[in-house]
Amino acid sequence: MRDKEIIHQAAEIIKGGGIVAFPTETVYGLGADAFNPLAVARIFEVKRRPYFDPLIVHVAYPADVKKLVKEIPSNAKKLTESFWPGPLTVVLLKNENIPDIVTAGLPTVAIRMPNHPMALSLIKESKCPIAAPSANPFGYLSPTTAEHVQEQLGDQVDLILDGGPCPVGVESTIVSFLEERPRSLRPGGVSLEEIESVIGKVEINPNELEKPSAPGMLPRHYAPRTPIVLDWDEKNLDIYKNKKIGLLAFQGPRNHLKFKSVEVLSKKGDLREAAANLFAAIRRLDALNLDLILAESIPEIGLGRAIMDRLRRASGSIEADGDRNIG
Ligand code: TXA
Ligand code: MG
């Protein structure tokens, strides 16, 4: 079927209260009409996501934000003008028209305009903003291909739009505008450097996020089945002998022989390429029944910050006061 027809079909499903998985530039989302609480409830059920974890509302035009929020602070406007459509989510004080289930009862709403032609067409044709989390079971890695969605949620969603692999590969950067100074709640596809070049210094949320706004940033989020270890020493690999270990390398390991399998995120050391490959590479390693995945550290500049954040969460090395056994 041609893209146009299948997007039309997807929009009809959204209008009818169904749920559709769709590509964005960051990861695949699982969407429903943001104004239809029953449809949104199905997303929580399918994902087995706790109701205290709010969803991002996706819009197709920057002007749509006005209908969803009380006010748009000037820094939020500057950021959306600079990075939309794109991997930036802004958290603003919400209007009453947004159902509580979308925002987990918070007085705020997270909004983003994705930079993907299929996502934008879907929102436009559905004629409503689309509430969508990443299209994965709660606590698992976000999908970056339609096949990832199919494997994990295939039989439970009404339609999966296939737009190929997501070019950015990590979720959007979330910036909140509730305090005097903007606060970054989640590092993501727009780097901190890029954001600060537009609005100056932003606060960075500590890893232990206060509930209930804890933005999916519970420890062990993004976790595969196989344990991931970030803190390890190349010289001390003997402690893992007799174990089947995989390596998640940044540019390429010095010694391949010790590993059962190796995934290289970017041979040339490009952080954008590494981010785009991250979740698919972890999934491939996770499918091999390894005892352990050793992950190399990535320089924490640009997109490296989002990559390391996801790796720390996948490895459980971020300790917070939340439940460590989510999934
Ligand atoms: O790139 C992305 O952001 C992808 C694509 C599909 O757009 N979406 C995504 O959604 O990553 P999700 O639900 O997996 O992560 C959204 C995060 C959640 O951790 C949630 O807690 C946080 O956004 N969030 C949503 N509304 C919020 C709010 N009002 N205040 C603070 N955090 C919020
Ligand atoms: Mg998610």
**Length of the chain measured in residues:** 327
CA–CA distance, 304 with 312 (Å, rounded to integer): 12
* Alpha-carbon span 306 to 293, nearest angstrom: 19
Rounded-to-integer distance, Cα 202 and Cα 86, Å? 19
Neighbours of 71 (CB within 10 A): 10
Q: pLDDT tens digit string along 108-127?
A: 999 999 999 999 999 999 99
DSSP string, 199-264: H---EE--SSPPTTT--S--TTTT--SS-EE-S--GGGGGGGTTS-EEEEESS--S--TT-SEEEE
Which pLDDT band, with edges at 50, 70 and 90, does 256 fall under?
low
Question: Where is 283: in which H helix or E strand?
Answer: helix 271-286
Give dist(CA 54, CA 321) in Å, integer.
Answer: 19
Q: Spell out which residues have Cβ within 5 A of ligand 2, the ion.
A: 134, 216
**Distance of CA 104 from the midpoint of ligand 2 (Å):** 15
Ligand 1 pocket test target in 58, 142, 174 with most atoms within 8 Å of CB:
174
Residue type, 219: P
* Cα–Cα–Cα angle for 63, 51, 186, rounded to 5 degrees: 55
**Encoded tokens for 292:** 């352990």
Residue 225: band (very low, low, confident or very high) from pLDDT cuts 50, 70, 90:
confident
36 lines ligand 1 (CB under 6 A): no
Average pLDDT rounded to a whole number, residues 227-243: 89
Work out the burial of residue 243: count CB atoms within 10 Å of its CB; fewer than 13 is exposed, 13-18 middle, 19 or more buried.
Answer: exposed
311 lines ligand 1 (CB under 6 A): no
Ligand nearest, relative to CA of residue 138: 2
Task: Summarize pLDDT for 309-326 with one digit per residue, the tens.
Answer: 999 989 987 643 332 222
Residue among 56, 142, 278 whose CB has most ligand 1 atoms within 8 A, to mutate: 56
Could you list the beta-strand ranges (E) of 19-105. Answer: 20-22, 29-33, 56-58, 88-93
Q: Say how many Å lie between the first and final Cα of the chain, rounded.
A: 35
For residue 327, the model assigns a pLDDT of 27
Does ligand 1 lie within 6 Å of residue 175's CB atom?
Answer: no
Q: Is the pTM of this model over 0.75?
A: yes
Spacing, Cα 136 to ligand 2 middle (Å): 7
pLDDT at 2: 87
Ligand nearest to the CA of 141: 2
Q: If we measure between CA atoms, which residue out of 235, 42, 279 comes closest to residue 147?
A: 279
AA identity, residue 33: D
Q: Is the dihedral of CA 286, 287, 288, 290 positive or negative?
A: positive
Q: Is the CB of 171 under 6 A from ligand 1?
A: yes
